[in-house]
Structure 1
Amino acid sequence: MEFSSIHISIWFIFTQPIFLLFLFSSASSRLAGNEVDRLSLLAFKAEIVTDTLGILSSWNESLHFCRWPGITCGRRHQRVTVLDLRSSGMAGHLSPHIGNLSFLRALNLQNNSFSHTIPPEIGRLFRLERLRLHNNSFSGHIPFNISRCSNLQYLNLYRNTLSGKLPTEIASLSKLRLLKLGRNNFHGKIPPSFGNLSSLEVLSASHNNLHGGIPNSLGQLKSLTFFALSANYLNGTIPPSIYHLSSIKFIYMHRNNLHGTFPPGLGHTMFSNLEIFNFHTNQFTGPVPASISNASNLSLFCISHNKFTGKVPNLAHLSNLYWFAINHNNLGNNVEGELDFVSSLVNCTNLQILSISANNFGGVLTESISNLSTKLRGIYFDENQIHGNIPVRVGNLINLETLYFNDNLLTGTLPSSIVN
C-alpha cells in the first residue's frame, strides 16, 4: 500500500529532529577534527627551536591552518593531508601530537636538523603513504608500531643517527615501495621477513653496522631495482636467488666481508637490466664471467680489492660504460695478449675511469689505448708486468687528468704528444 501525503507529512514531522541532530553531529565531528588538527600543528610548532626561514611565523590565528605554509588540506573535510617542511632550516623535536593528524598522507621533513626520537604515535597514522625524515639527526630506535601504517609506500630514514636492530614488523608493510635506512647506526642481522615486502623497488641499508649473511628470502623481491647493502659487516656468499632478480638496475655490495664466485650467467640471463655493479673491497674469487659483456646497459663495473683471477673478457658490447675498475686483484698471468680487453673498450665512448692497477697483467700496451674515449679522466695501469713502449698517440686523450704507468717494465721515451 502506498503512503498518502498525510503519512509523509506525519513521518517528516516526527523524524525531522533526528535528521537535524544527525546533521549537527556530523558538522560537530568535522569541526572537532579540524580543531584537533589545528592544535596538533601548534603543538608541532612548539617543539621547533630553530626556524631559519621564519616559515612558522605565519602559523597563527590570522590564517586558517589550511593556508599555513607547508600544509595541504583535503577539500572535502578540510583536514591536514600533507605536512611538507623539507629543507626549511628547522631544528627541534618531532611532537608526539603528530599522531593526531589522522588524515595525514605525507610527512616530509627531510633535510633539516630534527633530533631526539621518532615518536611512536606515528603508528596511529593509518592513512600515511609517504614518510620522509632523511638527512636529519633523529636518534633511538624505529618505532615497532610503524607497522600499523598499513598504507605506507615510501619510508626514508637515510642519514640520521638511528640505532638498534631493524624491526621485523616492517615486513608487514605490504605496500612499501621504498625503504631507505642507510647511514645510521643499525646493528644486528637483516630480517629474513623483509623478503615479504613484495612491492619493494628500493632497498638501501648501506653504511650501518649490520652483520651476518644476506637472507635468501630477499630473492623474492621481484620488483627490486635498487639494492644497496654496502659498508657493513656482512659475510657469507650472495644467495643464488639474488642473482636471478632480473629487475635490478643498481646493486651496491662494496666494503663488506662477502666471498664466493660469480655465476657464469652474470649479465646474461641474470641481472639483464644491470646499470651499476659495485662489489669492491670484499673477498670474492674466481674469474670475471664472460657473460658480463652481455649487460649492455652497464655503466659502472667495480670489483677492485678482491681476489679475482684469470682473464678479462671482451667488453665491446658495453657501449654505456663510464667506470671500469678491476684494480687490486690477482687477474692476469703475465703473458702476451692479456690486455686485448683494453682494445675492446674503444666502443665505450663515455668511458671516464679505467683502472687495472695492482694485478699481474703482462704484454704490451697497443696503440689502441690512444683510441679510447676522449672523455677519459683517469688511466691506472700501475703495478703490473706491462712492457714495451708508451703508445705514441696517448696525447689524443685530451681530457686525461691522471695517468699511472708506474711500477711496470716499460721502456723507450715519453711520447711528445703527452703535452696535449
Structure 2
Amino acid sequence: MTGTLPDEIGNLNLEKLNVFGNHLTGTIPFKIFNVSTMKILCLGFNNFSGNLPSDMGFWLPNLEGLYLFINKLSGTIPSSISNASKLTIISMGTNSFTGSIPNTLGSLRLLQRLALHANSLAGESSTPELNIFSSLTNCRQLEVLTISLNPLNGILPMSVGNLSTRLQIFEALGYKIRGNIPSGIGNLSNLVILRLGNNHLTGPIPKSLKRLQNLVRLHLQNNALKGSIPGDLCQLGKLGDLNVSDNMLSGQIPTCLGELKSLRWLYLCSNRLSSKVPLNLWSLEDLLGLNLSSNFLTGELPLSVGNLKVITLIDLSRNQLSGTISNTIGGAQSLVSLSLSHNKMQGPIPRSLGNLISLQLLDLSGNNLSGEIPKSFEELRYLKYLNVSFNRLEGEIPIAGHIPNFTARLFMHNDALCGEL
C-alpha cells in the first residue's frame, strides 16, 4: 500500500488499525483519533507528517496500544493522551516531536512501555530537574522506558530510584542529561539494560549498581564520570556488556572483572586508568571485544592472549605496554581488529599474525618493533588496514596479497624497510 490514509477510515467502528510499513504519506486524518472503539492504532514506519490533535486522548477511551514510531510527525505530544487511561504501550520514537514530555503521562497507571527516543523533546524550562521521571513513578507496571536522543538538558532526579521495580530497559543516552547518577537507581532490581551514555553526567559510578543482579548491559560511556571503577560491579553475575569509555575514571582495573564469565564486551578506553591489565581478563574465553586504549596501562601482553578463541576486537593502543608480542596471539583465530599502536613494545612481529584469517585491521605503529614484516601477512585476504610506521623494522615489504594496496606513509619511519608501494 502506498499513498495517503483516506478520511473515510475514521467512519468505521474499528478496534484495530494496522498500516505498519506501507510508505503512507500526508497527515493522519483527525477522524481516526475519534474512533472510540479503537484498541490498537499502529501507524508506524511510514512517512506521516503534521501534528497530533490536542484533544486526541479524550476520544480514545479504549485505546491500549499507540504506535506512531518512525514517521515525520511534529509538534508537541498532547497532554490529553493521559485520558486514554487503558494505554499500555506508547511508541512514538524517531519523529520530530518538540516541547517537553507531558508530566500527565504519569497518570497512565497501566503503562508498560514508553518509547519517545530520537525526537526533539526538551526538559521543562522552569526547573533544572527532569520532572518526567518523578511523574512516571506512578506507572507501577512500567517495563520499558526509552527517551534517548532528545535534548533533555536537565538533571536526573533522585526519584529515578522510585520508578517501577518491573523496569527492565532504561535508555536515556545522548544527550545533555547532567548531574550525578542517583544512587537510588540500584533499586530498579529487574533492570536488564541501562544506557546513560553520551550525556554530561558527573560524579562517581554508584556502588549501588551492584544490586542490579539481572543487569546484562551497562553503558555509561562519553560522560564526565570520575573516581574508580567500583569492584562492586563484579557482583553483577549476568553482565555481558560494560562500557564506561570516554570518562575521567582513574585507578586500577578491578581484577575481579576477570571473574565475570558472562562478559562479552569490555570497553574501558579513554580514561585515566593506570594499573597493569589483570591477567585473568585473558582467561575470559567467551570475550568478543576488549578495548582498553588511551589509558596509562603498563605491563606486558601475556602468553594467554591466545586463549581468546572467539574475540573479534583487541585495542590496547595508546598505553605504556612493554615487552614482546607473543607468537601465541595467533591462537585468537577470530580477530578482526587488532591495535597495539603507541606503546613501548619491542622485538619481532610474530609470524603467527598471518594465521588470523579474519583480520581486517592491524595497527602496530609507534612501538620499538624490530626485524622484518612477516611474509605470512600476504595470506591475510581480508586485510583493509595495516600500519607498522614508527618502529625499527627492516627488510623487504611483502609484495603479494593486499599489502601493495597500502600507502607508503603506513610504513614510514622505520630503520631500513624497502620495496615498492
TM-score, normalisation: structure 2: 0.78
CA distance in 2, matches of 1:95, 1:174: 26
338, 343, 349: which one aligns with 1:339: 349
Tell me what 2:288 maps to: 275
Does residue 326 (structure 1) correspond to residue 326 (structure 2)? The answer is no
Tell me what 2:377 maps to: 369
SS at match of 2:49: coil
Which residue identity lines up with residue 56 of structure 1 in the other structure? L
Give the 5 Å matches for 1:10-409. Answer: 53-54=49-50, 56-57=52-53, 59=56, 66=63, 69-70=66-67, 79-116=86-123, 117-119=130-132, 120-148=134-162, 149-268=164-283, 271-313=284-326, 314-333=328-347, 338-340=348-350, 343-372=351-380, 374-393=381-400, 395-397=401-403, 404-409=410-415
CA contact (8 A) 1:377 1:402 kept: no
CA contact (8 A) 2:354 2:378 kept: no
CA distance in 2, matches of 1:400, 1:114: 46
Alignment length (residue pairs): 352
Which residue identity lines up with residue 378 of structure 2 in the other structure? S
CA contact (8 A) 1:118 1:139 kept: no
Instruction: Using the TM superposition, give the Cα deviation of residue 55 of structure 1 relative to its aligned residue in structure 2, in angstroms.
Output: 6.0
CA contact (8 A) 1:376 1:399 kept: no
Instruction: Using the TM superposition, give the Cα deviation of residue 305 of structure 1 relative to its aligned residue in structure 2, in angstroms.
Output: 0.3
Tell me what 1:31 maps to: none
CA contact (8 A) 1:260 1:285 kept: yes
Instruction: Using the TM superposition, give the Cα deviation of residue 409 of structure 1 relative to its aligned residue in structure 2, in angstroms.
Output: 1.6
SS at match of 2:354: helix
CA contact (8 A) 2:313 2:337 kept: yes
Instruction: Using the TM superposition, give the Cα deviation of residue 412 of structure 1 relative to its aligned residue in structure 2, in angstroms.
Output: 4.0
Which residue identity lines up with residue 176 of structure 1 in the other structure? L
CA distance in 2, matches of 1:102, 1:67: 12
CA contact (8 A) 2:259 2:280 kept: no
C-alpha distance 402-177 of structure 1, shift in aligned 2 (>3 A): farther
SS at match of 1:235: strand
SS at match of 1:375: coil
Instruction: Using the TM superposition, give the Cα deviation of residue 150 of structure 1 relative to its aligned residue in structure 2, in angstroms.
Output: 1.3
SS at match of 2:238: coil
**Structure 1 stretches of 5 or more lacking a match?**
1-37, 39-50
**Structure 2 stretches of 5 or more lacking a match?**
1-33, 35-46, 70-83, 124-129
TM-score, normalisation: structure 1: 0.79
Which residue identity lines up with residue 301 of structure 1 in the other structure? I
CA contact (8 A) 1:375 1:399 kept: no
CA distance in 1, matches of 2:177, 2:158: 13
CA contact (8 A) 2:317 2:340 kept: yes
Which residue identity lines up with residue 135 of structure 2 in the other structure? E
Instruction: Using the TM superposition, give the Cα deviation of residue 331 of structure 1 relative to its aligned residue in structure 2, in angstroms.
Output: 0.4
Instruction: Using the TM superposition, give the Cα deviation of residue 319 of structure 1 relative to its aligned residue in structure 2, in angstroms.
Output: 1.8
CA distance in 1, matches of 2:405, 2:419: 22
> What is the CA deviation profile of residues 302-331 of structure 1, one whole-angstrom value per residue up to 9, with x for unaligned ones?
000000000112222222111100000000
CA contact (8 A) 1:297 1:318 kept: yes
Instruction: Using the TM superposition, give the Cα deviation of residue 348 of structure 1 relative to its aligned residue in structure 2, in angstroms.
Output: 2.1
Which structure has the larger Rg over C-alpha atoms? 1
CA distance in 2, matches of 1:64, 1:54: 23
Which stretch of structure 1 is more off in the superposition, 83-92 or 142-151? 142-151
CA contact (8 A) 2:245 2:271 kept: yes
Instruction: Using the TM superposition, give the Cα deviation of residue 139 of structure 1 relative to its aligned residue in structure 2, in angstroms.
Output: 2.1
C-alpha distance 177-62 of structure 1, shift in aligned 2 (>3 A): closer
CA contact (8 A) 2:64 2:89 kept: no
Which stretch of structure 1 is more off in the superposition, 222-231 or 141-150? 141-150
CA distance in 1, matches of 2:291, 2:378: 27
Percent of aligned positions that are identical: 27
SS at match of 2:370: coil
> What is the CA deviation profile of residues 102-142 of structure 1, one whole-angstrom value per residue up to 9, with x for unaligned ones?
10000000111110134221111111000000111112222
Instruction: Using the TM superposition, give the Cα deviation of residue 411 of structure 1 relative to its aligned residue in structure 2, in angstroms.
Output: 4.4
Which residue identity lines up with residue 388 of structure 1 in the other structure? G
CA contact (8 A) 1:147 1:173 kept: yes
C-alpha distance 369-163 of structure 1, shift in aligned 2 (>3 A): same
Which residue identity lines up with residue 94 of structure 2 in the other structure? S
CA distance in 2, matches of 1:301, 1:189: 27
Which residue identity lines up with residue 372 of structure 2 in the other structure? V
CA distance in 1, matches of 2:408, 2:177: 39
Which residue identity lines up with residue 278 of structure 1 in the other structure? N
C-alpha distance 234-97 of structure 1, shift in aligned 2 (>3 A): same
Q: Spell out structure 1 runs of 4+ moving beyond 4 A.
A: 60-65, 395-403
> What is the CA deviation profile of residues 358-392 of structure 1, one whole-angstrom value per residue up to 9, with x for unaligned ones?
000011123212122x2211110000000111123
RMSD of aligned residue pairs (Cα, Å): 2.4
SS at match of 1:370: helix
CA distance in 2, matches of 1:401, 1:111: 40
Instruction: Using the TM superposition, give the Cα deviation of residue 190 of structure 1 relative to its aligned residue in structure 2, in angstroms.
Output: 0.8
SS at match of 2:213: coil
Structure with greater helix percent: 1
C-alpha distance 196-182 of structure 1, shift in aligned 2 (>3 A): same
CA distance in 1, matches of 2:181, 2:64: 38
